[in-house]
A and B are shown apart, each in its own frame.
Chain A
Amino acid sequence: MSDSIVLASLFPTLLGTYGDGGNVLTLTHRAGLHGLTVEVIQVDPGDAIPHQADLYVLGGGEDSAQVAAAQALQADGGLATAADRGAAILAICAGYQLLGHEFPDAAGKPAPGLGLLDIRTDRLPARAVGELACTPSPHAPDTVVDILTGYENHAGATHLGPEAKPLAQVRAGVGNGDGTEGAVNGRVMGTYLHGPCLARNPQLADTLLGWVIGQPLPAIVEPEVEQLRAERLSIVLGSDAPQSAPISRPDA
């Protein structure tokens, strides 16, 4: 694998409601810190999905845009091909839901998803809006150890099938709706965390980049980011928050 990473940003015009472009910026930024370069391909509706990207990113979006994006991805088939090949995929909120078997459309009826994650989504009794904090689950990649922080705004209750494993356990907020948050299936990762997710959780960004280059990346700490994490976690978790944001990670 060369050190230039090809990143496909899928339908940011449809799936980019909650500052999700920040995830692409963060991947580019973190890659730069690690001496890697990223080539970003923006894929708009009507464009073919590139088959050879290393990393695919999907954001959140409104209901009708989510259905349109799912249909376009289904018709193209390129994302499924990339997933089979072992490409890394990060999907947020509406993007996360549409990677599963089905998700609710604007009218609440089940719409078919891509089936790249073994999950099904229906409606929560009440919309989940607010800060979300969660602890990486035992199934999370071993490079993800720090508490995950973000903001959620969704109406989806997501149920994991046997192939998908939860990314995290909820400490505050709703997440999938059953105490778990997000899902991981090989190199496909989905989550309700935005804020954007990777800007507030650089270990997730480094994990995705590490998957692509085939080795874990060393920890690089940015004070601004740690201060933001500490502030959000102390507001959400109060005295349960880690006193200083942990920066350690297991030896790879």
Chain B
Amino acid sequence: MTRSRLPLRTTLAISAGKAAAATSRVSGKGEGMVVGGKVMLRCAPKALTDLAGDRVAALVSATNGKTSTTRLLATAVATTGSVVTQPTGANMTAGVVSALALGDREAPAVLEVDEAYLPGIVDATSPKVILLANLSRDQLDRMNEVAMLARRWRTMLAEHPDVRVVANADDPIVSFAAEQAPHVTWFAGGQVWTADSSVCPQCTNLLARDGSDWHCTGCDRRRPEPSWRLDWSGESGVAVGPDGRQFDLTGLGLPGRFNASNATGALAVCAELSLDLDACTAAMKTVTAVSGRYAILDVGARRIRLLLAKNPAGWSELIDVMPPAPTPVIITINSNAADGRDPSWLWDVPFERLTGRTVIATGDRRRDLAVRLLQAGVDHLVVEDPYAPNAVLPEGAKDLDVIDCAATYTAFHALRTRADKEAGTSA
């Protein structure tokens, strides 16, 4: 597809969208991805289809890990040349349109897509590969039921029989969504959070589990045999492909089992795209921070490693990435719209695993967190601004070179903004 083949209406819409995005940037309201995309879609409703053409290599969707997996995959695909992807996590229709319009118009695209928006975006962009990694509860005040999302994915794949699917066999909900697609590559991506897949999404009988294996006690549904798997040692991982070929993920810049799992899924997509998998593995190791995740930031008087977790499944994984007790950590809980207004999910997170240290509880919902930690038997200190020079912090916290700070979505972005602003004023 070339620029000259875009319909005039879409070309004009792109100009209007770019102008809107620039206005938004100048006025300091952000990068303008969403505003620009919305203007483009209003001027030319078919802009997404026109811009996608046949160059969408892969779409990535999941409750957790979309942004990191997309960055890993885009970096791998970039071993062959230019790639279009979102610079930020703008993953609904407007963000996807913006990424395609603002990036290299000839380059293949690797895009992350919100779970609920995936069917519409698949319709409009005809991707070669779709990566489906996990589905669990998230923002229950906004999102559909988990089972409902899986049914919508299932219908979507039935309507697109030619698309190749890479799906996590360890997640029964994802497996249900992908099981009837003609071209599925299963990978064993693991599933730490099982509370949203305790029953069969079809017959609602209880699922029986043995390690990562699972089967339904009421019907024939069982875990598909994966052709890709991750062997995780507790520190590092090896991705093993269909022919037994091994890809050592030691040295991956992103921490934790779940990022090694993200890399394994991304490698399976690279195989579908017939890329050089050794080169892809090497490229993925160079990714260290993704849109601020795992970045080391100076905030006020503290230097932090910033971690993002948005829901119980994400928190369950993240707790293992934090340094062991007795090292204190900061946990920041907000309940703005993008965090989910209702923090009752705090009671689904196994905070008990933080015992033996003092947790610094902060954010708008620090008092909810304090009650949760009280009952979990975890020592805690409620601090409104732990970054103030004179903040009262637990013993040892001020001596750490870097303290881990795990935050919900809006708290995460507020810390990045604050660090940027403070870096600007001190320069």
Which A positions have Cβ atoms within 8 angstroms of B?
13-14, 16-22, 25-26, 29, 44-46, 62-65, 68, 129-130, 151, 153, 194-196, 199-200, 222, 224-225, 227-228, 231
Question: Judging by beta carbons under 8 Å apart, are A45 and B344 in contact?
Answer: no
A and B contact pairs by CB, cutoff 8 A, 14 listed: A14-B199, A16-B195, A18-B140, A18-B342, A18-B344, A19-B347, A22-B375, A44-B206, A46-B205, A64-B145, A129-B341, A194-B344, A200-B371, A231-B367
Q: Does B298 contact A (CB under 8 A)?
A: no
Q: A13-B195, A68-B199, A222-B374 are in contact. Are A22 and B206 (CB under 8 A)?
A: no
Question: Judging by beta carbons under 8 Å apart, are B374 and A21 in contact?
Answer: no
| Cβ-neighbour of B137 out of A17, A153, A227, A231 (below 8 A) | A17
* Further pairs besides A45-B205, A228-B370, A231-B367: 5, Cβ < 8 Å: A22-B372, A44-B198, A46-B206, A64-B204, A227-B367
Nearest-Cβ distance from residue A49 to partner chain B, whole angstroms: 15
Nearest-Cβ distance from residue A75 to partner chain B, whole angstroms: 13
| Cβ-neighbour of A199 out of B137, B195, B375 (below 8 A) | B375
| Cβ-neighbour of A45 out of B147, B206, B348, B367 (below 8 A) | B206
Q: Which residues of B contact A64 (CB under 8 A)?
A: 145, 147, 204
Question: Judging by beta carbons under 8 Å apart, are A63 and B145 in contact?
Answer: yes
| Cβ-neighbour of A13 out of B137, B206, B348, B382 (below 8 A) | B206
| Cβ-neighbour of B342 out of A14, A44, A151, A227 (below 8 A) | A151
Question: Judging by beta carbons under 8 Å apart, are B344 and A195 in contact?
Answer: yes
Q: A13-B199, A16-B195, A129-B141 are in contact. Are A153 and B342 (CB under 8 A)?
A: yes
Nearest-Cβ distance from residue A161 to partner chain B, whole angstroms: 29
Please give me the residue from chain B that is nearest to A67 by CB atom.
Answer: B204
Q: Which residues of A contact B345 (CB under 8 A)?
A: 18-19
Q: Which of B147, B204, B344, B382 has the most CB of A within 10 A?
A: B344
Nearest-Cβ distance from residue A44 to partner chain B, whole angstroms: 6
Per the bound structure, the CA–CA distance linking A13 and B146 in Å amounts to: 14
What sequence of 0s and 1s flags, for each residue 322-349 of chain B, a beta carbon within 8 Å of any chain A beta carbon?
A: 0000000000000000000110111110
Q: Which residues of A contact B371 (CB under 8 A)?
A: 199-200, 222, 224-225, 228
Q: Does B368 contact A (CB under 8 A)?
A: yes
Please give me the residue from chain A that is nearest to B348 by CB atom.
Answer: A19
Q: Which residues of A contact B137 (CB under 8 A)?
A: 17
Per the bound structure, the CA–CA distance linking A199 and B345 in Å amounts to: 13
Please give me the residue from chain A that is nearest to B201 by CB atom.
Answer: A64
Per the bound structure, the CA–CA distance linking A13 and B199 in Å amounts to: 8
Q: Which residues of A contact B382 (CB under 8 A)?
A: 224, 227
| Cβ-neighbour of B346 out of A13, A19, A29, A222 (below 8 A) | A19
Per the bound structure, the CA–CA distance linking A225 and B204 in Å amounts to: 37
Please give me the residue from chain B that is nearest to A44 by CB atom.
Answer: B206
Q: Does B236 contact A (CB under 8 A)?
A: no
Nearest-Cβ distance from residue B292 to partner chain A, whole angstroms: 27
Q: Does B217 contact A (CB under 8 A)?
A: yes
| Cβ-neighbour of A29 out of B145, B217, B341, B375 (below 8 A) | B375
Q: A18-B342, A21-B347, A228-B371 are in contact. Are A153 and B141 (CB under 8 A)?
A: yes
What sequence of 0s and 1s flags, for each residue 301-322 of chain B, a beta carbon within 8 Å of any chain A beta carbon?
A: 0000000000000000000000
Q: A46-B206, A65-B204, A153-B141 are in contact. Are A199 and B347 (CB under 8 A)?
A: yes
Per the bound structure, the CA–CA distance linking A199 and B365 in Å amounts to: 14
Q: Which residues of B contact A194 (CB under 8 A)?
A: 344
Question: Judging by beta carbons under 8 Å apart, are A22 and B367 in contact?
Answer: no
Q: A68-B199, A151-B342 are in contact. Are A21 and B206 (CB under 8 A)?
A: no
Q: Which residues of A contact B341 (CB under 8 A)?
A: 129-130, 151
Question: Judging by beta carbons under 8 Å apart, are A224 and B199 in contact?
Answer: no
| Cβ-neighbour of A224 out of B147, B198, B370 (below 8 A) | B370
Q: Which residues of B contact A29 (CB under 8 A)?
A: 375
Question: Judging by beta carbons under 8 Å apart, are B344 and A227 in contact?
Answer: no
User: 6 nearest interchain CB pairs?
Assistant: A22-B347, A19-B347, A13-B198, A19-B344, A228-B367, A68-B204
Question: Judging by beta carbons under 8 Å apart, are B204 and A153 in contact?
Answer: no
Per the bound structure, the CA–CA distance linking A20 and B348 in Å amounts to: 8
Question: Judging by beta carbons under 8 Å apart, are B206 and A151 in contact?
Answer: no
Q: A13-B195, A62-B147, A196-B347 are in contact. Are A227 and B370 (CB under 8 A)?
A: yes
Nearest-Cβ distance from residue A148 to partner chain B, whole angstroms: 15
Nearest-Cβ distance from residue A8 to partner chain B, whole angstroms: 17
Q: Which residues of B contact A63 (CB under 8 A)?
A: 145
Per the bound structure, the CA–CA distance linking A44 and B195 in Å amounts to: 12
Please give me the residue from chain B that is nearest to A228 by CB atom.
Answer: B367
Nearest-Cβ distance from residue A39 to partner chain B, whole angstroms: 18
Please give me the residue from chain B that is nearest to A71 by CB atom.
Answer: B204
Please give me the residue from chain A that is nearest to B203 by CB atom.
Answer: A68
Please give me the residue from chain B that is nearest to A202 by CB atom.
Answer: B371
Question: Judging by beta carbons under 8 Å apart, are B198 and A14 in contact?
Answer: yes
What sequence of 0s and 1s flags, for each residue 202-218 of chain B, a beta carbon within 8 Å of any chain A beta carbon?
A: 00111000000000010
Question: Judging by beta carbons under 8 Å apart, are B199 and A46 in contact?
Answer: no
Question: Judging by beta carbons under 8 Å apart, are A224 and B195 in contact?
Answer: no
Q: A45-B205, A224-B367 are in contact. Are A151 and B344 (CB under 8 A)?
A: yes
Q: Which residues of A contact B140 (CB under 8 A)?
A: 17-18, 153
Q: Which residues of A contact B367 (CB under 8 A)?
A: 224, 227-228, 231
Nearest-Cβ distance from residue A14 to partner chain B, whole angstroms: 7
